[in-house]
Amino acid sequence: MASTSYARPSSSQLPPSVFNPRRHVNVQPERVSDVSNTEYPGHYPDEDHSWDLQKFKQTLNVEVKRLSQRSIEFDLVGVDASIANAFRRILIAEVPTIAIEYVYMWNNTSVIQDEVLAHRLGLVPLNLNPALFDFRDASGVPTDRNTLVFRLNVACELDKSTPKGAPKQYIHDQVTSGDLEWVPQGEQETAFGDRIPGPTNPNIVLAKMRPGQEIELELHAVKGVGKEHAKWSPVATASYRTHPLILLNPSMPVPPHLAQKFAKCFSPGVVQVSADGEVSIDEHNLRKESMSREVLRHKEFEGCVELKRIRDWFIFTVESEGPYAPEALFPESVRVMREKIANIRRAAEALLADADGGGGVGADGDVEMAGV
């Protein structure tokens, strides 16, 4: 059935542009269609869709929907999927953090092998602001501006104060991330002030020991990015999904006696059923829809509904696992992208400057190539 028969409900609180078929990805029983954007120059006759900054500003929107101490959910509207995915990849792999990179084993008589213990220590998230540190240069020389030092020195022993006949109690039978002791270097003690560097979670179990076993280590934490190793990734998860859209067909309403069955085909709260059996979409809960396509399995609902996704409306879910507050992660990914674009621009300018016949960058910022 043609999309035009599924009109925008008169009571809808969603922006009218949401119901523009050009923004829709159609979810069908066996496939998904119309996944590519068609609004580009030359696709539609007599329509100019060349990129325009002012138009982009009008359609771009970022809105926080949920925020907690460790996670954030926000909407990014008005960009292509390639841009949204670039931000997702930057969040995972290119926003820098501080993590333990070098572990110097002086003594380890626990049952945990040296390599396993070092790997566990590297994955402990630290509460350090990466902006206060430099990346280590090629020489690898540690300084107080690029290296943070911790010490781990614990020994397990029997708790002699345990009452006679009671189960044995041990002191330091569990080694946790809270046992890491910061050793200030150079001017670090002044620079960090009251915020003592350490793990974001002091209760991470690193090893278990019994009397007579001990661990003595020195650890060096450095600045890095997730594409080098996952321990430098600032997020536990960073994902997005396109906003769901459910369109009811006013010319073929759901039969009242099947209304409850129809509602159960969707996530709880998405479809509302009135006392007389009339169904409606709760737009406040629409973003919770899983798009399971369950409704498309039932012949009795054929033609009653269309399932779609809005191509340029992305629902991001990001969980912070390091020094960044959840609301600071996306702006940080924007900063990284701007740096990457600036690097590409400088490289292009250098190529043009070296090219035969001159060329360069015009006063308006556009690249001018010789002979063009």
Would you state the pLDDT for residue 138?
Answer: 86
Tokens (6 digits) for 124: 């402990």
Tokens (6 digits) for 177: 């991330």
Q: Is 244 in a helix, a strand, or coil?
A: strand
In which band, very low, low, confident or very high, does the pLDDT at 2 lie, cut at 50, 70 and 90?
very low
Query: Tens digit of pLDDT for each residue in 208-218?
Result: 999 999 999 99
How many Cα atoms within 13 Å fall on the side-chain side of residue 160?
A: 1
Q: Which whole number is the average pLDDT over 251-265?
A: 95
Domains of the chain with CATH codes = 10-92+237-319 (3.30.1360.10), 98-230 (2.170.120.12)
Alpha helices for 4-80 (secondary structure H): 53-59
> Can you tell me the distance from the alpha carbon of 251 to that of 245, in angstroms, rounded to the nearest whole number?
18
Tokens (6 digits) for 103: 């572990």
List the one residue out of 83, 93, 65 whose CA is nearest residue 238: 93
324 neighbors 335 (Cβ within 8 angstroms): no
- Which segment of 15-19, 23-27, 98-102, 230-234 scores lowest on mean pLDDT? 15-19
In which band, very low, low, confident or very high, does the pLDDT at 162 lie, cut at 50, 70 and 90?
confident
Burial category of 234 from C-beta neighbours within 10 Å (exposed 0-12, middle 13-18, buried 19 and up): buried
> Can you tell me the distance from the alpha carbon of 21 to that of 249, in angstroms, rounded to the nearest whole number?
15
> Can you tell me the distance from the alpha carbon of 3 to that of 305, in angstroms, rounded to the nearest whole number?
10
pTM flag (> 0.75): yes
Q: Which whole number is the average pLDDT over 183-187?
A: 91
Strands 279-281 and 305-320: unpaired
Amino acid at residue number 297? R
